[in-house]
Structure 1
Amino acid sequence: MDAQLAQNSASDSGSWLTAFSDWAVELMDTIGPIGAGIAIALENLFPPLPSEVVLPLAGLAAQRGSFTLAEALVWTTLGSLVGAFLLYGLGAWLGADRLRRIADRIPLLRGDDVVRTVAWFDRHGAKAVFFGRMLPIFRSLISIPAGVSRMPPWRFGLLTGAGSLLWNSIFVLSGYLLGEAWPVVEQYAEILQWVVLAAVVGAVAWFIGTRVRTILRERRERGSAS
């Protein structure tokens, strides 16, 4: 599989994306579908890396006979599981108590924020893990609260595997069925990424504004009480 395919799809997105795409293609050329799995595992650990580029390239490699379509789906899903479980382990290692202490030391955060987040995850964790696998950024980050809440590993693995298989299949099959025309799918995936990013930025801005107003109100109340 020619690395020029990756360059054509990523040239408008910056040199770092081109370099990553070239590396992923070279990895698949060298060690086959395992290379696609490694690239997807890294994408899980570092959310800015684009699975929407790697997965169709894996499908295109399968179409060209470098490996089978089943191998592409199996190894990319295994890669998703490996990356997710590493972040799950980080969350389990940190734990709620340690995260509360860390939050209390960070400006604008409080230990109670961790308590509320863990309580929310305990109520909605299964849906969050499954559907979170289909959202950029969240498909990586959702593994951390799963570990903090100590979701049973078998349940976390089942939900993560199912959600990842569904997401991966869409993009691997796009590369397999569309062939050289697969970048059209990447354009729509990029729109989804920007929508999610805008929502995240908006939520962060709302949180900061609300927390600053709360702190100022508490200061005024303490001043009037004294």
Structure 2
Amino acid sequence: MLSHVTNAILALGVYGVLIGMILESCYIPVPSEIILPYAGYLVYSGRASFVGAVLAGLVGGLIGASIGYLIARYGGRPLVERYGRYVGIHARGLDRAESWFRRHGDGAVFFGRLLPGIRTYISLPAGVAEMPWGRFLVFTFLGALPWTVLFTYVGYALGQHWTQVGSYSHAFFAVTLIALIIWLGWLRRRRKAG
């Protein structure tokens, strides 16, 4: 069923990218690792501009993340726990995202948008903690930008072979993890110095 939904979304071109990213950021299991490379393929095939494809991915991601944030902010964790299972939100994933958010605050939203397994959940603890919506949008945008640009570009570069992007997602995750470790080390040193 998921593959049929994904194929239907992809058939819509750039609008499908927008819809797919809204759904992915709202916890519907439509993987951005498929949607964004397809956006790059649309650029490769001349059916979209690179800027248009990236904007569709970013705007869709921001809309979806905002929906999750607002649900968590106004419904709280009890609402998320009660109905989250219907869209693939499990207590374990929510616990990890909340722990990550408590430890790292704004940076959790930025880096959380770059980490598979946390990226779709990070809106929930930000909403529950009532992080100001404007700040949430800024950090979500900044975190989603490199992910969106990279996966769109890889889809463009692979052209007709855009479906092979899965092997590149592991490399991106490794680079993100290294950057995160460096950032956490810098924060720790700054706290000790202050």
- 1:132 matched to 2:112? The reply is yes
CA shift in 2, pair 1:22/1:190, >3 Å: farther
1:32-71 residue pairs with structure 2 within 5 A? 33-46=14-27, 48-71=29-52
Q: Which residue of 1 aligns with 2:8?
A: 23
SS of 1:139 mapped into structure 2:
coil
Separation (CA, whole Å) in 2 of partners of 1:46 and 1:118: 16
CA contact (8 A) 2:111 2:143 kept: yes
Q: Percent identity?
A: 37
TM-score for both structures, normalised by structure 1: 0.62
State the structure with more CA Rg.
Answer: 1
CA contact (8 A) 2:100 2:108 kept: no
Q: Which residue of 2 aligns with 1:76?
A: 57
Separation (CA, whole Å) in 2 of partners of 1:42 and 1:151: 22
Separation (CA, whole Å) in 2 of partners of 1:43 and 1:95: 21
Over the residues paired in the alignment, what is the CA RMSD in angstroms?
A: 2.8
The Cα offsets for residues 30-54 of structure 1, whole Å up to 9 and x where unpaired, read as xxx2321111110111253211111
Q: Identify which range, 73-82 or 133-142, moves more after superposition.
A: 133-142
TM-score for both structures, normalised by structure 2: 0.72
Separation (CA, whole Å) in 1 of partners of 2:117 and 2:168: 16
Separation (CA, whole Å) in 2 of partners of 1:46 and 1:120: 18
Q: Which residue of 2 aligns with 1:145?
A: 125
Gaps of 5+ in 1: 1-15, 103-108, 194-226
* Higher relative contact order (Cα pairs below 8 Å, separated by 6+ residues): 2
Structure 1 position 180, deviation (Å): 1.5
